[in-house]
Structure 1
C-alpha cells in the first residue's frame, strides 16, 4: 500500500493571522501599488518637491535686498499671516530661508498630508469597499499586508519629496542642514497623517468617511497650531498639541534644532501600531464603527438624480466654502498692511499691478480674487470628475435603469457644479469685501468685491466645461482637467514673475477676466467665455449620449 499525504492546508496557511505571517505579501502589494500609482506619485513628487525650489527662486527675485525682505517680515506680525504661515521665526533678520520656512512650510505640510491620506485610504479602505482586497486576500496575503503596503507607499512618496526638496534647495544656495531639517519636517508631517489615515481606515467601512475623518483631523491640527501661535510669539503651549507645529519648531534657517521631530516620529510609531492592532479586530470590508442607520423614507429634497448628486457633494462644498471664506477674510484684512509693505518695492508693485498704472489697493484685491477663483475652479473640476467616479464605480447604472436618462443625469450633475461654483465665488468675494471694508474703512468694497469675484464665473465654467467634455467624449482622459487647472494656477501665481508671453498667459481662461476692481468692466470677454463654456458642456452631453456607461 502507498501512503497518501493529506492535501488539506494547515490552518492559517492561506490566511495568516499573526506574527510575520500577518504581513505576508506586503512586498508584492507595494510593487503593485507603485505600478498602479506611478503617474499619480510622479505628479505629486514633482509638484510638491519642486514648489519650494521655485518659490525660493521667485521670492529672491521679488525681494532682492535685505530691506525688501524686512518689509515683508512686517506682514508676519499680522494674526492672519500667522495663521496662514507660521510663528514667524527670524523676523528680525528675514533671510530667504526664513521667508521660505515661515511662508511655505504650512502649505507644503498640508499638501503632503493630503497626498498621504489619499494614498493610504486608496490602498486600504477603497480596496476593501470595491471588493478587490477580498480577491487578493484569497492568495497568501496576510490580513495586515494591505495596511503595511499603504504605509510603505506613503513613506516612499514622502521620502522622494524630501530628496527632491533637499537637492533643489541646496542647489540654489540654501544651507544644507537647514534644508534637510525643513524637508524632513514636511515629510514626517505627511507620515503622521498617513498613520492617522491608517487608523481612520479601520474605523469606518466607507472611503469618504475614512479620508474625511483624517482630513478633518488635519484641519483641527492646522487651527490648533494657528491659534497657539497667535496666543504667544513663537508659539504657545497650545501649539505643541499640533504635529504641524513640531515641524515648524525646528526653526530651520534661523536657529536649527532637531529634537521637535522626535515627537512626529513617536506619533507615527504609536498611530501605526494602533492601526495594525485595530486591523486585527475587524472583519474584511467592515469597520469598527457600525454604520449609521438611515431614515426609513427619503426626504423630498432627495428626489431625483440631481438632488442625490447635491447630497453626495455637500461635504466637499461645505469644506471649500469655509476655506474660501476664511481665505477671503485673510486677504481683506491684509490689504492695509500689504500696501504699506510694497509701496517702496518696485518688483512687487509691478507684480500686483501687472504693468498697469492703477491704484495698488485695487491691484492687490484684484490679484487676491484670482486665487479665490482658482479655488472655485478646483471645486468645479472635483465636482465634475466625481460624476465620472460614480460611473466607474457602477453606481450610475441603477439610476439609469429607472426614469433618469444619461443626458439628464450628467446635466443634473453639471447644474450642481454651476450652483456650487457660483456660491463659492459669492462666499469668497463677500468675505473679502467685508474684511477689506473693515480694514480700509470703505463700505462700498463689500458690493464691489462680491461683484468682482462673481465676474470670474464664466472662466470657472470654461474649466468645468473642459472637464465635462472630457467625461462625455473621452472619459479615460478626464483627469486631464486637472492639467488645465494646474496651468491656470501656474499662470495666476507665477505668470508675471516668469514673464510669460501674452499668448501663453491668455491660454488660461482666468486671464480673460477684467482685473476688477480698478479696470473697466468689459463684457465682451465674459460673453465669449460663457459661449465657450456652453459649447463644451453641449459637447459633453452629446458625447455621453453616444457611448456606453462605465466604459471608455
Structure 2
C-alpha cells in the first residue's frame, strides 16, 4: 500500500469522526478528568500531611490484595504522587478502552456497515479511515493528558511530575489504539474487534494486578508484560521515567504500523481470521424477536458477567484488610461510612463495593438499551419490523437485557464478593447470602438509567446518546460526591443515594418501589413514543 496515497482524505474523515462522536467523547473525557480532579481534591483533604500519607502507603504495600487492586504506592511526598498512584492503573485502562472503541467504530464498524466501500469509491485512500480512527483516539488521549497535567501543575504540584503523569495517560491511549488497529484487521465484525481489544485490556490488567500482588517476593516481573504496568512504573513526581512513556508510544506506533500492513493484505469487508460458517437454517430460537435479541446480546452479557465475577471476587477478597486502610484516616472512614451507610467499617466497605458494582451495571444497562438505536440506525430493524413483528415486541426483546441482564450481573458480583468475603472471614454461607441481597437491592437504581435511555429513544431518538451524559453526571455525583462533601440535595439527584446500604443498614422497601415506578413511567413513555414515530 502506497502510504501517501492511502492517506488521501484523512483530514476530512478525522474532522467528521470528532464531530460525530462529540457527545460520546465529551462524556468520556469529562468522566476521566472528573476522576483525576476529584481524586486530587479529595486526597488533599484526606491526607494533608506526610504522616497520613505514609500510613496510607503502609496500609497498601503490606497487603497483597490491595496492591493487586490499586497497585503499590511508591512515593508519598506529594498529593500529585498519590493521585498518579490511584489514577494511572484504572485511568489508563478506561482511556485504553475509549481508544479501542473509537478506532473500531471508525474502521471495522464502518466497513461492516458498507459505508467505507462508498467512501473508497471516491477520493478517499484505503488507509484514511484507520488514520482517522487513530487520530480521534490520540486526540481524546491528548486532551485528557494535557488537562490532567495542566490542572495538577496549576494546583502547585511539580511541573515535571505533572507532565510525566499526563504523558503516561496519553501513552496508554496510544498503545491500546494500536491494539485496536490490529484487531480491526483480524475480524469481520466490529463486535469481534472490540472483543479482542477488550480481552487484551483485561489481560493487561490481570498481569499488572498479579505482578503487583506478588511484589518483590514472587513473579513481580509480570508487571513488565503489561502496558498498564509500564504506565504505573513511570512513577510521576518520583522517578519520572520518561523512557517508559517512550516505550508506550513505541508499542502503539509498531502496532499501528502492523495494522496498516495487514490492511493492505486483505479484502475490503473481510478479516484475516477465518469466520465459522453458520448453520444452513435458523434455529427455533431465532423465530421470535426475543430469540433474535438474545442472539445479538448474549456475547456482551457473558463478557460482562466474567468481568463482574472477577471484580466481585477482588472486592470481597480484600474486605478483611480494608479495616487498616480505612482507619488510616478519620476522613476516609467518614466517607466510606457515608457511602456505605453503616458505622461498622467492614459493612460500610462492602456496601460501598456493592454500590460500585451497581454503577458499573448501570453502564451495561445503558449500553444494552442503546442497542435498539443501533439496530434502527444500521437499517437492521426495518426488515425485522416489515416481517410482521410488532414494534413493542421487537423493543421488548432487547429491553429484557437491561432488565434481567443487569440482575444477572449483580447476582454474579454479589455471589463472588460473598464467596471472597466468606473465605477471608470464615463464614461463606453468611456473607454470600448477605451480599447477594446487597447486590440485588441495587437493581431499581440501575433500571432508572435504562429507562432514561428508552425514554430518549422513543421520544427524542436523535438525542438517544445523551443517555451517556446523564449516566456520567449522576455516577460522578454518586462516586465522588461524598468525598467532596457535596450537599445532600445534590446527592439525592442520583438514584443510588436512595438504595438501602446493605449489609449493615436497615432495609426500607419504599425507595425501591418509587424507583421502580419511576423506571416504569419513563420506559412506558419511551415505548409509547416508539409506537407513534417513524422508524429510521
Contact 2:458 2:525 in 1 (8 A): yes
| Structure with bigger gyration radius | 1
User: 2:107 is matched with which residue: 121, 124, 141?
Assistant: 124
Contact 1:129 1:207 in 2 (8 A): yes
Q: For 1:197-212, what aligned pairs fall within 5 Å after superposition?
A: 197-212=180-195
- How many equivalent pairs are there? 532
Contact 1:433 1:450 in 2 (8 A): yes
| Alpha-carbon distance in 2 for matches of 1:410, 1:350 | 44
- Matching residue of 1:233: 216
- Matching residue of 1:529: 515
| Alpha-carbon distance in 1 for matches of 2:342, 2:262 | 62
Structure 2 SS opposite 1:313? helix
Please tell me whether residue 22 in structure 1 is matched to residue 3 in structure 2: no
User: 1:381 is matched with which residue: 366, 380, 390?
Assistant: 366
Distance 1:68 1:371, change over 3 A: same
Please tell me whether residue 414 in structure 1 is matched to residue 399 in structure 2: yes
User: 1:147 is matched with which residue: 103, 109, 130?
Assistant: 130
Contact 2:78 2:157 in 1 (8 A): no
Offset of residue 77 of structure 1: 3.5
| Alpha-carbon distance in 2 for matches of 1:80, 1:322 | 19
| Alpha-carbon distance in 1 for matches of 2:220, 2:505 | 44
- Matching residue of 1:261: 245
User: 1:510 is matched with which residue: 480, 493, 496?
Assistant: 496
| 1:147-203 C-alpha deviation (Å, 9 max, x unpaired) | 122222222222222111110111112211112112211111111111121111112
Please tell me whether residue 214 in structure 1 is matched to residue 200 in structure 2: no
Structure 2 SS opposite 1:487? helix
| Alpha-carbon distance in 2 for matches of 1:388, 1:19 | 36
Q: For 1:432-471, what aligned pairs fall within 5 Å after superposition?
A: 432-443=417-428, 444-471=430-457
- Matching residue of 1:308: 292
Offset of residue 522 of structure 1: 0.9
Contact 2:104 2:181 in 1 (8 A): yes
Offset of residue 68 of structure 1: 2.5
Structure 2 SS opposite 1:260? helix
- Matching residue of 1:475: 461
User: 2:314 is matched with which residue: 324, 330, 349?
Assistant: 330
Structure 1 SS opposite 2:370? helix
- Matching residue of 1:341: 325
Distance 1:335 1:173, change over 3 A: same
- Matching residue of 1:40: 24
Contact 2:172 2:228 in 1 (8 A): yes
Offset of residue 19 of structure 1: 4.3
Offset of residue 50 of structure 1: 4.1
TM-score, length basis structure 2: 0.94
Contact 1:370 1:492 in 2 (8 A): no
Distance 1:318 1:83, change over 3 A: farther
Q: Which runs of 5+ in 1 are unaligned?
A: 1-16
Offset of residue 357 of structure 1: 6.6
| Alpha-carbon distance in 2 for matches of 1:320, 1:21 | 41
Structure 2 SS opposite 1:259? helix
Contact 2:224 2:230 in 1 (8 A): yes
- Matching residue of 1:9: none
Offset of residue 433 of structure 1: 1.6
Contact 2:55 2:328 in 1 (8 A): no
Offset of residue 448 of structure 1: 1.1
Offset of residue 381 of structure 1: 0.8
- Matching residue of 1:10: none
- Matching residue of 2:386: 401
Q: Which runs of 5+ in 2 are unaligned?
A: none
- Matching residue of 2:85: 102
TM-score, length basis structure 1: 0.91
- Matching residue of 1:486: 472
Offset of residue 95 of structure 1: 4.0
